[in-house]
Amino acid sequence: MNIDHVATLRQARGTTYPSPLEAARCCAAAGAHGLTVHLREDRRHIQDADVYALKQAAILPVNLEMANAAAIVRIALDVRPEEVCLVPERRQEVTTEGGLDVAGQEQALKPTVDSLREAGVQVSLFIEADRRQLEAAARLGVPYVELHTGAYCDAGSDRAKRELERLVQGAKIAHDLGLKVNAGHGINLQNIAGVLDMPHLDTLNIGHSLVARAVFVGLEQAVREMMKAMSAYRGGAG
């Protein structure tokens, strides 16, 4: 469960609520397996204190999404979340757009990946389902990749089949390279059935649609609905 947008609501008014920590407890009560938070350089939603509090509370394992930026890397090495997912980040974007260019930034990413691994942190790279990017991830020695599902989730019916085929193939390539496969971006109750056709999935990171659904049914119910939908997963198209 990505709880960034709980913090978005809080930051909109500069209040102390709603609390990401309280959201974490709701997610745990509903059966979520972990928490994802993105500590952006512009601090538009999650704040440094949130990351420390979530790790200290140990309600659920924490996956920290972050850019390969020195100041954020220092925080990650201090907090030592269970997992870090390195993502691309631009100040102007509304949300993360596209995957990280691992192939083009391999040398720049290597010191960060190595330092996180030495600190006992599992590292994932948020990338497109592209062989070149996947092979670069494997060379860096990360255990996980997170495949960007946004193009599929946002596609119209004409393009959706092609995008899903690309994700399925990417998951197979990742598995063959010895990488564990996570996926995320844009997943909701309407499109998750297609996402579950992907083979070898370990984790789905889902946030915005759940926070939006929680406005009407509450966070625990929203998470339970998604967990029920995910229970249909049988490994996808092998």
Which residues are known to be catalytic? Answer: 38, 65, 185
126 beta partners? 146
Dist. CA 100–CA 231, nearest whole Å: 29
- 41, 71 contact by CB (below 8 A): yes
Separation between Cα atoms, residue 185 and residue 206, nearest integer Å: 7
**Cα gap 40→151, rounded to integer Å:** 22
Whether residue 57 contacts residue 37, with contact meaning beta carbons closer than 8 Å, is answered with no
Q: How many Cα atoms are found within 13 Å in the side-chain-facing hemisphere of 67?
A: 14
DSSP code for 189 = T
CA 194 to chain centre: 18
